[in-house]
Amino acid sequence: MEKTVLITGASRGIGFALAQQFLKNGFNVIATSRTGKIENIIHKNFEVLELDLSNEKTINNLAQILQNKNIKIDILINNAGIGPDLYTHEPEKESFKQTFDVNVSGTVFLTELLSPHINDGGKIINISSKMGSINMCVLTDSVAYRMSKTALNMYTKILVNRLLGKQLIAAIHPGWVRTTIAKGNVNGRLSPDESASKIFDFVISDFETGTFWDIETQSKIEW
Q: What would the pLDDT profile of 1-10 be if each residue is shown by its tens digit?
A: 699 999 999 9
8-state DSSP, 207: P
Residue 184 has pLDDT above 80, yes or no: no
In terms of C-beta density within 10 A (0-12 exposed, 13-18 middle, 19 or more buried), how is residue 100 classed?
middle
pLDDT at 158: 98
pLDDT confidence tier of residue 177, bands split at 50, 70 and 90: very high
Confidence class for position 169, pLDDT limits 50, 70, 90: very high
What percent of the chain has a predicted confidence (pLDDT) above 90?
A: 93
1 versus 65: the higher-pLDDT residue is 65
Homologous superfamily (CATH) for 4-220: NAD(P)-binding Rossmann-like Domain (3.40.50.720)
CA-to-CA distance for 144 and 157, rounded, in angstroms? 20
Contact criterion met (CB below 8 Å) for 51 and 73: no
Q: How confident is the model at residue 200 (pLDDT cuts 50, 70, 90)?
A: very high
Do 144 and 191 meet the contact criterion of CB atoms below 8 Å apart?
A: no
pLDDT digits (tens, 9 = 90+) for 136-163: 999 999 999 999 999 999 999 999 999 9
Q: How confident is the model at residue 131 (pLDDT cuts 50, 70, 90)?
A: very high
Q: What's the pTM value of the predicted model, to 2 decimals?
A: 0.96
Mean pLDDT of the region 55-63? 98
- Give the least confident one: 23-32, 62-71, 187-196: 187-196
pLDDT-based confidence at residue 179 (cuts at 50, 70, 90): confident
**Mean pLDDT of all residues belonging to the chain:** 96
Q: In the predicted model, what is the mean pLDDT of residues 72-83?
A: 98
pLDDT, residue 183, reads 67
Q: What is the pLDDT of residue 188?
A: 79
Closest to 210 (Cα-Cα) out of 195, 201, 197, 223: 223
Domain ranges of the chain: 4-220
Which pLDDT does position 186 carry in this prediction?
67
Other Cβ atoms less than 10 A from the Cβ of 151: the count is 18
Position 182 scores a pLDDT of: 67
